[in-house]
Amino acid sequence: MSLTQFASALRLNKTTVHRLLRALQKFHLIERNPHSEKYRLGLKFHALGARSVLWRSLPYDARPFLVELSRRSGETAILAIPGAGGIICLDSVNLSSALLTVRLLPGDFIPAHCTAFGRAILSWLPDPEVRAVLRRWGMYRYTPNTCDNPRDLRYALEVHRRQGYAVEHGEVESGLVSIAAPILYRGNRIVASIGVSGPKDRFTLVHARMKTDLVKKFAAKLSKLFSRGPADFATISPPYVS
C-alpha cells in the first residue's frame, strides 16, 4: 500500500501516518519499495511467525523429555523460555515420590538473575538483552545467597556458558538447588532451558553429578531436535522489552 492509501484507510493525516510507517521500518516490520514507494510486510514478521510456531510446538515436543528427566532424576523437571521481560516456566513435570518437591506451574515467572533456568538462558544472550532484563526486573535479593551484584552475575554467566550448564544453590529459596542447561538452535541461538530442581539434601556430590549429566544430555537432545527446523526460528531476539 502507498502512504496515501494508508492515510485514507486509517482516516489519519499523511504526516502522522508517515511517522508511524518510519517507526515500523526502523524495527524491520515493514519495507518500502524505492521504485513504487509502496510498503509491504517486512521479514521480521516472518521471523516472528516462525518463532511462534516453534514455541507452540516446544511444549508438545519437550514433554516426553521432561517426563523422562523427572523419572530418572527423582526431581521436578522444568522447561523455561525467555518471555516479555524475563524468564517464564513453559512446562514442568514432577514424578518424584518424595514429600518435599518443587511446584512450578506453566506461566509462572522465574527470576532470571538468581535461578539456574534463568542464568542458563542469560548466558547465551547478547549483553544488551541481559541488561534489558535486569533493567526491567532488577536483581532482587530473595535470600542471603542471592546474586545481586551485576559484576558477579557477569562472571557467573561466563562460567555457565563455558561449562554448558548453570547451578543455583538456595538463591530463590533457602534449601533448594537447581541445575539447568540451555536448549540451543544450531549451537548458538538460545531457545529455552531445561533442568531439575529439588531440596539440597538430594543434591549430594555424587547425585548432583548424575543429575547434571542428565540435564546436559536432555538439553543436547532437544537442541538437536530443534536444530532440524527452519533457520527463521532463531532470526530474532525474544521480546524482552514489552
**Assigned C-alpha cell, 70:** 523427572
Cell 494508508 locates to 6
Whether residues 179 and 82 fall in one domain: yes
148 within some domain:
yes
71 within some domain:
yes
Q: How do residues 162-173 score in pLDDT, each as one tens digit?
A: 999 999 999 999
- Determine the structural domain holding residue 30 and report its residue range: 3-41
Residue 181 CB coordination number (10 Å): 26
Rg of the Cα atoms in the chain: 21
Q: How do residues 116-127 score in pLDDT, each as one tens digit?
A: 999 999 999 888
CATH number of 126's domain: 3.30.450.40
28 and 43 Cβ atoms separated by less than 8 Å? yes
67 within some domain:
yes
What is residue 214's predicted lDDT score, i.e. its pLDDT? 96
Whether residues 173 and 204 fall in one domain: yes
Whether residues 35 and 81 fall in one domain: no
Q: Decide if pLDDT at 239 tops 50.
A: no
Residue 108 CB coordination number (10 Å): 14
Whether residues 230 and 177 fall in one domain: yes
What is residue 147's predicted lDDT score, i.e. its pLDDT? 93
- Highest mean pLDDT pick, 27-41, 47-61, 94-108: 27-41
Whether residues 19 and 78 fall in one domain: no
Q: Decide if pLDDT at 52 tops 80.
A: no
* Band of pLDDT at residue 233, cut at 50, 70 and 90: very low
Q: Decide if pLDDT at 54 tops 80.
A: no
Whether residues 62 and 165 fall in one domain: yes
User: What's the domain count of the chain?
Assistant: 2
What pTM did the predictor assign?
A: 0.72
Whether residues 34 and 80 fall in one domain: no
160, burial (CB in 10 Å: exposed 0-12, middle 13-18, buried 19+) = buried
Whether residues 77 and 168 fall in one domain: yes
77 within some domain:
yes
Crossing angle of the two packed helices 3-10 and 14-26, in degrees rounded to 10: 110
Whether residues 127 and 29 fall in one domain: no
Q: Decide if pLDDT at 9 tops 80.
A: yes
Phi-psi region of 20 (alpha: psi -120 to 50; beta: other; left: phi over 0): alpha
54 within some domain:
yes
Whether residues 85 and 13 fall in one domain: no
What is residue 47's predicted lDDT score, i.e. its pLDDT? 55
- What residue type is 10 in one-letter code? L
240 within some domain:
no
* Band of pLDDT at residue 133, cut at 50, 70 and 90: confident
**Assigned C-alpha cell, 35:** 521504485
Considering the chain, what percentage of its residues have pLDDT values greater than 90? Answer: 55
What is residue 231's predicted lDDT score, i.e. its pLDDT? 41
Whether residues 66 and 36 fall in one domain: no
Residue 205 CB coordination number (10 Å): 7
219 within some domain:
yes
Q: Please tell me whether residue 170 adopts helix, strand or coil conformation.
A: coil
59 within some domain:
yes
Cα distances from 147 to residues 99, 155, 222, in angstroms, run: 28, 11, 29
Whether residues 215 and 186 fall in one domain: yes
- Highest mean pLDDT pick, 31-35, 60-64, 160-164, 186-190: 160-164
* Band of pLDDT at residue 241, cut at 50, 70 and 90: very low
Of 236 and 92, the one with more pLDDT: 92
